[in-house]
Amino acid sequence: MKKNFLLLGLIIAIVGFAVISCDKSLPDPDSLDPDPLIEMVRIPAGFFTMGSPTDEKGHLENESPQRQVTLSAFYMGKYQVTQEEWQFVMTGNENDISVTPSSFHGGDGMEPAGDEVQVKRPVERVSWYDVLVFANRLSVMEGLSPAYRINNSTNPNDWETVPTAFDSPNRAEWDAVEIVSGSTGYRLPTEAQWEYAARAGTTTAFYNVTDDWQDQTALDPIGWFNFNSDERTHEVGKKAANAWGLYDMSGNVWEWCWDWYGDEYPSEAESNPLGVSSGSNRVVRGGGWRSSAQAARSAFRGFVDPWSRVYDLGFRLVRP
């Protein structure tokens, strides 16, 4: 069943912006699990300039100040997590729509476009807390050590009810989630990992070397936005990938990141940053089917309450 889902030191310098190195000690991601559910892409170690310059069209203050960020190599999902992947992890059946949280479930006017496959549309209406459960369950299914620990347990069955409102009584416990040191399992990308992977070595507003977010002709090939989405999500992978082979990093659905949201970046250089230590909202990136392309720029930062379930907000996963 899972087969259906298989889809110097630093060696590249780009206009004084990013230098990327390949870590040849990393195994091929497919060798880590003989039959992985989620197809992963190796993202090389390197550094880049995070944020946007003040003269970038569409620039916002929360994308400043720019600073250098260095990252270790990691793996990232080639696609946004799909409805069939969500259903399989949560029930063991990729066709069990009874657990589909998505608004775009295929009926009542929510059908896929053209010949697109319903269950290969991105899952949406999943909260940040929901994703913690999914990530740990998937890790256990594939024999990996779970990344997230709540109340001294990595078993989501011990975490009690997922918070669904600002005043949920157990929200503080979920907000205190820890990343288990040395764990090998799936997790959300940090904001820095997400932008680094989206840019794939580019310095422009979009990863296809386009700077003008109002240029629909240039942006139509890479993503689904409010001008071309027909007010719906679309099967993942239908638009062009970036240089590192990642699809839908601009548009389709927003993507949750690990970090708490802060109004501005630190000014000093950082290595493998995890973001600010506390907050009330979590970062979202990439824009979605109902947003303007301005929100899909590589540097654009959004934020949402971690308990919220929104019909244009999904996720993709990473692994160390």
* CA 227-232-238 angle, 5° bins: 80
- The label of the residue with tokens 């996720």 reads 315
Backbone angles phi, psi at 194, to 5 degrees: -65, -50
pLDDT in the model for residue 34: 54
Q: How many CB atoms lie within 10 A of CB 165?
A: 10
Residue 64 to residues 88, 110, 243, 257: CA-CA distances in angstroms?
Answer: 40, 38, 25, 18
What pLDDT does residue 36 have? Answer: 83
pLDDT in tens, the chain (320 residues): 443 433 323 322 333 333 333 333 334 444 445 578 999 999 999 999 999 999 999 999 999 999 999 999 999 999 999 999 999 999 877 777 677 899 998 877 789 999 999 999 999 999 999 999 999 999 999 999 999 999 999 999 999 899 999 999 999 999 999 999 999 999 999 999 999 999 999 999 999 999 999 999 999 999 999 999 999 999 999 999 999 999 999 999 999 999 999 999 999 999 999 999 999 999 999 999 999 999 999 999 999 999 999 999 999 999 99
Predicted pLDDT at 17: 31
Q: Which letter does DSSP use for residue 153 in this model?
A: B
Q: Strand, coil or helix: what is 71?
A: strand
Burial class of residue 42 (count of CB atoms within 10 Å of its CB; 0-12, 13-18, 19+): middle
Cβ pair 82, 236 in contact under 8 A: yes
What range defines the domain where residue 76 resides? 2-319
What is the per-residue pLDDT for 93?
73
- Give the C-alpha separation, 62 to 155, whole Å: 36
**Closest among 127, 28, 145 to 86, alpha carbons compared:** 127
> What does the DSSP 8-state code read for residue 291?
S
Q: Tell me the pTM.
A: 0.89
Can you give the pLDDT at residue 92?
76
Say what the pLDDT of residue 33 is. 53
Decide: 147 and 185 in contact? Cβ < 8 Å. Answer: yes
Provide CB contacts within 8 A for 152, sequence distance 6+: none
Helix (H) or strand (E) holding 260: strand 254-260
| DSSP H stretches of helix in the chain | 29-32, 83-91, 128-141, 171-175, 191-199, 216-219
Q: Which residues pair with 14 in a beta bridge?
A: 18
How many of the other CB atoms lie within 10 Å of CB of 113? 14
Any idea what the CATH number is for the domain that residue 75 is in? 3.90.1580.10
- C-beta of residue 289 within 8 angstroms of C-beta of residue 312: yes
Count of structural domains within the chain: 1
Torsion of CA 60, 43, 77, 157, to 10 degrees: -90
- Residue-wise pLDDT for 144-197, tens only, equals 999 999 999 999 999 989 999 999 999 999 999 999 999 999 999 999 999 999
* pLDDT, tens only, 55-96: 999 999 999 999 999 999 999 999 999 999 999 999 877 777
| pLDDT score at 64 | 97
